[in-house]
Structure 1
Amino acid sequence: MQIPIDSPVCAPLDAVKRDGYSFVTAEVMHPLLRASGDLSDWNAFAASWNQLGPDPYLAATGRQRRRRHATYTATPNDGVELAPHQPHYQSLLYNRLQGDIERWFEPVDSAMANGKSLRTILAFCNDFFSSLAPATPSWHVEVHQFRIEASSTSAGEPTPEGSHRDGVDFVLVLLIDRCNIASGTTTIHSPDGKPLGHFTLTHPFDAALIHDPRVFHGVTPVTPITPDEPAHRDVLVVTFRARS
């Protein structure tokens, strides 16, 4: 992807190259996505978080998270294609809590998986990440819809595995919605544990772009602002890993 020197995407690209991550506010991220495609089904896309099933693997440990999952293949010149449904796998090296097992989640609803908003997000990621790794001929792409729920008796844990890497090349974390929650601050660390930065995804379209091999990331637990009312944090996580 040839990016004009005055393009708004240059600042996030430079930040990822320099620091290994970039916090992109909604005021910047929304126009970047609009430049990559169509977001006309965004309201339906965001509403689909209300249809997520529970994460059965975390439920077994007493933690509450809802999610759906989809897999795609991507090439820099030919775009992104939905792949057959398959499990999500991480080694214990990257996930001390749930590593070395195949985890099957409900698939992303087909209308959303092929919908305009998600296709636009994936097109942006394909261009952005491919520009950071121009020698990569193709990508294994995974999409995760997450809802973290909190209650007056139990904080929600966006990253129950703690500060971690995902075992991929690049990560996008895009905020979809926050409802009645406090905290949820993203923290960035070097591999030796040195704090590198922190920020909070507050508004829909706020985003984090991460070069996973270089930095660790985590999110602080969320708690309800009004204890007896529903409280949740909805995010879309997209990972790109070079296909071997």
Structure 2
Amino acid sequence: MDLPNPSDLHAALQHEGFAFLTADAMHGLLDAATLDDWPAFAASWNTLGDDGYLAARGRLRRRRHAVFTADATTGAIIREPNQPHYQSLAYNALQGGIERWFEPVEPAIAGSSSLRRILAFCRDNFGALAPDVRTWRIETHQFRIEARADAAGEPTPEGVHRDGVDYVLVLLIDRENIERGTTTIHAPDGRELGQFTLVHAFDAALLDDHRVFHGVTPVVPKDPMQAAHRDVLVVTFKAA
């Protein structure tokens, strides 16, 4: 989708259950002038902790996590105390059924103009699709997937899946020396509905998690002698 038109975005999510947005479109929807601290925001992906729940693969995925609530009436978005990320086995057969504690999003990043604008964008657009929801539970995940010559990085080690929420935003932050990493969208019966590779910072995918499944193909380094990573911000909204 190339035009930064909220009504087109809402229509795509309502009719298709997903939308892919180019960086230019996302820039327009977010209003790039509100992202004055973006360089520091993006640089915070350099300080993520290991994902210890992936056992041997944990060294290839780094992350931080935070929980917020959004009040649909007042518009207020409030950070909640540190808490675990939980998915049932029905949604995550690989890592579900346990409370997973990750290093928290740093306070300066949680309060940054960039993250606050992204969360407000999600509140406004997902809220327009579910006007009866008064309070949203928001989870934010900073992910860095690393790849080496001898080990591809797996953005979705659980495979094609749903997250067990209402709506999802996947926003590319950075992509360094990486090939592949294509986001695929699937119907519940497994049919592929669309695919899009997040290549440029601000490329994005938005999903109705009730209606579609999603996955990302493994990433590999272009130059096997150099460091390689794929950084994304994942934001999920669920009616509280």
Gaps of 5+ in 1: 1-5
One-letter amino acid of the counterpart of residue 168, structure 1: V
2:38 corresponds to 1:48: no
User: C-alpha deviations, 1:108-146, integer Å up to 9, x for none?
Assistant: 010000111000000000000000000111101000000
CA distance change for structure 1 residues 99 and 13 in 2, over 3 Å: closer, same or farther? same
Match of 2:178 in 1: 181
Gaps of 5+ in 2: none
User: C-alpha deviations, 1:136-177, integer Å up to 9, x for none?
Assistant: 111010000000000000000000000000000000000000
SS for the counterpart of 1:152 is: coil
Q: Equivalent residues in 2 for 1:83-232 (5 A)?
A: 83-232=80-229
TM-score (norm 2): 0.96
SS for the counterpart of 1:197 is: strand
SS for the counterpart of 1:174 is: strand
SS for the counterpart of 1:153 is: coil
The answer as to whether partners of 2:173 and 2:231 remain within 8 angstroms in 1 is yes
User: C-alpha deviations, 1:44-71, integer Å up to 9, x for none?
Assistant: 0000000001000013456620000000
C-alpha separation in 1, matches of 2:204 and 2:212: 16
C-alpha separation in 1, matches of 2:56 and 2:67: 25
Give 1:18 shift. Answer: 0.5
The answer as to whether partners of 1:59 and 1:65 remain within 8 angstroms in 2 is no
SS for the counterpart of 1:43 is: helix
The answer as to whether partners of 2:50 and 2:59 remain within 8 angstroms in 1 is no
2:201 corresponds to 1:241: no
Number of corresponding residues: 237
The CA RMSD measured in Å over matched residues stands at: 1.4
Match of 1:12 in 2: 9
One-letter amino acid of the counterpart of residue 17, structure 1: Q
C-alpha separation in 2, matches of 1:195 and 1:33: 29
Q: Percent identity?
A: 63
C-alpha separation in 2, matches of 1:204 and 1:172: 14
SS for the counterpart of 1:85 is: coil
SS for the counterpart of 1:182 is: strand
TM-score (norm 1): 0.94
Give 1:77 shift. Answer: 2.7
C-alpha separation in 2, matches of 1:46 and 1:57: 24
User: C-alpha deviations, 1:2-55, integer Å up to 9, x for none?
Assistant: xxxx971121111110000000101110111117x7211000000000000100
One-letter amino acid of the counterpart of residue 192, structure 1: D
Match of 2:62 in 1: 66
C-alpha separation in 1, matches of 2:125 and 2:165: 15
SS for the counterpart of 1:74 is: strand
The answer as to whether partners of 2:70 and 2:78 remain within 8 angstroms in 1 is yes
C-alpha separation in 2, matches of 1:108 and 1:7: 29
C-alpha separation in 2, matches of 1:68 and 1:61: 16
CA distance change for structure 1 residues 38 and 235 in 2, over 3 Å: closer, same or farther? same
SS for the counterpart of 2:128 is: helix
The answer as to whether partners of 2:185 and 2:215 remain within 8 angstroms in 1 is yes
One-letter amino acid of the counterpart of residue 114, structure 2: S
